[in-house]
Structure 1
């Protein structure tokens, strides 16, 4: 019998946060092992657990999975969060990958030396490229694709909350998205996840950045 899901990553958001969100919506309990030292990372490498020498790493169903998109697709497929057929799935994936592109830009803010320029870029792209797509998609339906919640819906909520942390009022001109966000936040598992003390991570701080630099032996400057 497979044990509890275990996540191996830093004590911060990064590419693991969407996985935490999806497991939460699927109501799957998970434990976390935080990477804090270079030695931990080297142990994972020597054990052959990191196919491409990268994390996130997720232990689930007797497997050790890497690559965040592959992990998300597995969880979404297992817990019926990936559409009812192949056509729904490809649309869900298009939405999902667009959201991941936008969220990755936000993730990199902690590592940039020119935060203002990056913020300007993110805000412009969010308003002109990404949010209009979801505003149109949500002009009638409750969910982005089909009649039930999917990974794309979960990531849209995660992304809009991240955007509002940086740009207060950014959803003012996107009422359908804002209404969707409100509905999603009332789902019991999500409502609990948004409360203090949950496994949801805070915005990255200097400790998070310093730890990543130390573990991966990076020479990225702190902003």
Structure 2
């Protein structure tokens, strides 16, 4: 029996959360090792585990993988969530890059001072409603299919749902003008593996709090405004 993937990161969302989502969507159980001290972090890159001295890091199939996008692409391909051909894979990559950009904007808010956070909230909501969600709404409306690519469940669907839920935490009615995305959210949330991950007690992480921020700062020895960029 193969070993479960082991995820090395902080006990919070950050860059690892999309990896957790994708593994959960694939029905793959995984273990986690949480970074809580600077010494733990330094031990990983002293032995060469972290090629670029950054996390996330995932142990899977006898390898120690770093760089978030590379990890996600490997998992998506391994568990048949990466399309049927090169063109579908390209579309998935494009859509995932878009949701990644959005989620990074949301994540960056966490490391801002309070007054900056309040201003950034308005910026995020505006970008979501005017720039990002109209794209996915049009894709779903134009092709009249249940999923973003190839009318089959893929990594792109998983990450779009994650982005939608993150945006709703900032603005509860952010989907009010996007009927296709509303239907998409309900439909994808009912997929059994996704539904299980959304239940209390799963390995999905809650909204980051001050304790998480302070842990990241202490481990990475970074300021609020740049800490999140060192986890990719």
**Which band: TM-score by shorter chain?**
over 0.9
Structure 2 residue aligned with 1:142, among 146, 160, 164? 146
Any stretches of 5+ residues in structure 2 without a counterpart? 226-232
Shift of 1:35: 0.2
> Counterpart of 2:182?
178
Equivalent position of 1:208 in the other structure: 212
Using the alignment, how far apart are the partners of 2:197 and 2:54 within structure 1?
A: 27
Give runs of aligned pairs for residues 1-223 of structure 1, distance below 5 A: 2-113=2-113, 114-139=116-141, 140-220=144-224
RMSD: 1.0
For structure 1, list consecutive stretches of 5 or more residues without a partner in the other structure.
none
How far apart are the structure 2 equivalents of 1:144 and 1:218? Answer: 37
Q: Cα offset for 1:86?
A: 0.3
TM-score, scaled to structure 2:
0.93
How far 1:220 sits from its partner (Å)? 3.0
1:9 and 1:57 in contact (8 A); partners too: yes
Total equivalences in the alignment: 221
Post-superposition offset of 1:147? 2.1
Checking the alignment, whether the CA contact within 8 Å between 1:193 and 1:199 is kept in structure 2 is yes
TM-score by length of 1: 0.97
